[in-house]
Amino acid sequence: MTSTDFDLIVLGWGKAGKTVAMKMAASGKQVALVEASPEMYGGTCINIGCVPTKSLVVAAERFQAAHPDLAKVTYEEANLGFLTAQSQRNQLTAKMNSANYGMADSKGVHIFNGTAKLTGPHEVSVNTGAEPVTLRADNILINTGATPVVPCIAGDWQLNRGRVVDSTQVQQLPGLPRSLVIIGGGPIGLEFASIFSSFGTKVSVLDAADKPFSRFDEDVAAVATEVLKGKGISFINSAKVAAVNEDADQVKVSYDLPEKEGNVLVSDYVLMAVGRRPMTDGLGLAEVGVELTERGAVKVDEYLRTSVPGIYAAGDVNGGPQFTYISYDDHRIVLDQLLGEGKKSTRGRVVPATIFLDPPLATVGLSEQSAREHHRVKVVRKDIAQIAAMPRPKILGNPAGLMKFLIDEETDLILGATLYCIDAQELINTVALAIKHQITATQLADMIFTHPSSTEGFNEVLG
Ligand SMILES: Cc1cc2nc3c(=O)[nH]c(=O)nc-3n(C[C@H](O)[C@H](O)[C@H](O)COP(=O)(O)OP(=O)(O)OC[C@H]3O[C@@H](n4cnc5c(N)ncnc54)[C@H](O)[C@@H]3O)c2cc1C
Ligand SMILES: NC(=O)c1ccc[n+]([C@@H]2O[C@H](COP(=O)([O-])OP(=O)(O)OC[C@H]3O[C@@H](n4cnc5c(N)ncnc54)[C@H](O)[C@@H]3O)[C@@H](O)[C@H]2O)c1
């Protein structure tokens, strides 16, 4: 058995881990980065998450734009469009995967292929498939991400055996499904619903919640639901999935509704998208005293320190919001602990979010209901099609959606916003900046913005 000493060992090639590893190595420290699979060099985001799915989103939107009447598109044509999108996606991720390896390697990070397990507070064993390797370090960063939740649903089915797939496998289907049932209408379910429906797949989204977009303000949820229904997506809510049964040709989902039990949907494939749980399996955490939260995440304080001194946890595994940019922000905190003043923390975060639909749906800050609990709230809201000072969505041919701001009547500060429009994934960051730095609604309205841009919408909606 070989044994090597390092300044830091990173478990898992996530966004936080790779960034800390490269910066530490660049500053002359000895860093080991352990990744379970070469297919995951660079982590979830670039290999199976954000980047590949957004590549599919863009390809799907372009396909739909080129074929406004999907009813006139043959299956063969749509299938070719889907397979071309898949191949572009695969080329992009292969390039990014290898670029990530190159970047870490060239910075002097020691990369280990294998599954990592803590064997002591300063010791990690790597199962490489051959002889295990032991690594030792003063500091350890757990960055093992999350894994799909496999719900306890009766029937003859198994995830990724055949026709019931997760968010990774659905990106590699052998052809465009004619029909797809998606169990779970969160960001993953909704983004794939939008992608597949743009190629003409008949999509049904089944969710336990009582309405689609249940985490959004009701008025916003209603508009977004109508837009997606217009793409041919059906929503089945308050659904309790009783059983899933797959065979070689199809999959049957049996579900109950409050008003009617014993309903059945038959489709080519089922996408299970009921959430992702922190990936702590087999890490040996309990043995070395690293505590978990009730929800199975690695328990950390605001400095991302676990219950064992010298061991940190960053990204999805620590139970924070599951976004790449949160993992990126986590890296700042851990790096500050390791090389800085140890002052950075998770306090005061303003976290925008976007679901990449067509148009994208972005939010930041409080919902209307929570805002009203503590503030006198002025709501300003405008449909995108009615915003005269914002011609860009019209130029791009998609003036769907709305802008909604919740403003504190006394201070004029922005409490929350929902932007459901072209470019919302960019616009929301400007609103987040305003919230974080207490720029008032009037100050934002009075800014000079380029033309024709989407940001101009703020001049009119807030003005
Ligand atoms: C389909 C999909 C779409 C998404 N879209 C977006 C989006 O648009 N925007 C956004 O911000 N977020 C998105 N997310 C979420 C985002 O991808 C994650 O929040 C982010 O990638 C988490 O990064 P991380 O640093 O926690 O670790 P990850 O990037 O998940 O990396 C963890 C790594 O650890 C490895 N690993 C696990 N266990 C071990 C072990 N024992 N030993 C060694 N290695 C191990 C894994 O193989 C993996 O490579 C999406 C997620 C999915 C699934
Ligand atoms: N654009 C983005 O930023 C983006 C995109 C994709 C994923 N993500 C991240 O990935 C994480 C996981 O996404 P997700 O959509 O899988 O999870 P989620 O937890 O956000 O949503 C899961 C959905 O499944 C439903 N559900 C749960 N159990 C069910 C059951 N048994 N039957 C029917 N419905 C059920 C829930 O009501 C919920 O609507 C998200 O938290 C998000 O942070 C982000």
Predicted local distance difference test score (pLDDT) of residue 3 = 66
Q: What percent of the chain has pLDDT over 70?
A: 99
Q: What percent of the chain has pLDDT over 90?
A: 98
Predicted local distance difference test score (pLDDT) of residue 4 = 86
Give catalytic status of residue 122 as yes or no.
no
* Structure confidence by residue, pLDDT tens digits, 14-41: 999 999 999 999 999 999 999 999 999 9
Angle between helices 15-26 and 75-106 (to 10 degrees): 30
- Cα R_g (the chain), whole angstroms: 24
3-state secondary structure of 196: helix
* Structure confidence by residue, pLDDT tens digits, 154-200: 999 999 999 999 999 999 999 999 999 999 999 999 999 999 999 99
More confident position, 12 or 130: 12
Is the pLDDT score of 378 beyond 90? yes
- Say if the ipTM goes beyond 0.95: yes
Q: Which pLDDT band, with edges at 50, 70 and 90, does 2 fall under?
A: low
* Structure confidence by residue, pLDDT tens digits, 110-137: 999 999 999 999 999 999 888 899 999 9
In angstroms, rounded to a whole number, what is the distance separating the alpha carbons of residues 388 and 374? 33
Q: Name the residue with tokens 């749980």.
A: 277
Pairing of strands 202-206, 234-236: parallel
Q: Which domains does the chain have, with CATH numbers?
A: 3-148+277-339 (3.50.50.60), 164-274 (3.50.50.60), 352-462 (3.30.390.30)
Distance in Å, CA 213 to ligand 2 centroid: 11
* Structure confidence by residue, pLDDT tens digits, 200-217: 999 999 999 999 999 999
Positive or negative CA dihedral for 450, 451, 455, 456?
positive
Averaged confidence pLDDT in the chain? 97
CA 16, chain centre distance (Å): 15
Distance in Å, CA 267 to ligand 1 centroid: 29
Distance in Å, CA 149 to ligand 2 centroid: 10
State phi, psi for 366 to the nearest 5 degrees: -80, 155
- Ligand 1 atom nearest the C-alpha of 144 is 34
Burial label for 280, CB within 10 Å (0-12, 13-18, 19+), is buried
Is the pLDDT score of 421 beyond 80? yes
Predicted local distance difference test score (pLDDT) of residue 130 = 85
CB 108 within 8 A of CB 102: no
Pocket flag, ligand 1, residue 9 (CB < 6 Å)? no
* Structure confidence by residue, pLDDT tens digits, 260-285: 999 999 999 999 999 999 999 999 99
Q: Please report which ligand is nearest the Cα atom of 315.
A: 1
Pocket flag, ligand 2, residue 212 (CB < 6 Å)? no
Q: Whose CA is nearest to atom 23 of ligand 1?
A: 14
Distance in Å, CA 206 to ligand 2 centroid: 12
Predicted local distance difference test score (pLDDT) of residue 1 = 47
Q: Which of 33, 44, 58, 89 to mutate to test the pocket of ligand 1 (most atoms within 8 A of CB)?
A: 44
CB 164 within 8 A of CB 46: no
Pocket flag, ligand 2, residue 273 (CB < 6 Å)? yes
Active-site residue, selected from the candidate residues 67, 374, 375, 451: 451
CB 263 within 8 A of CB 256: yes
Pocket flag, ligand 2, residue 207 (CB < 6 Å)? yes
3-state secondary structure of 194: helix
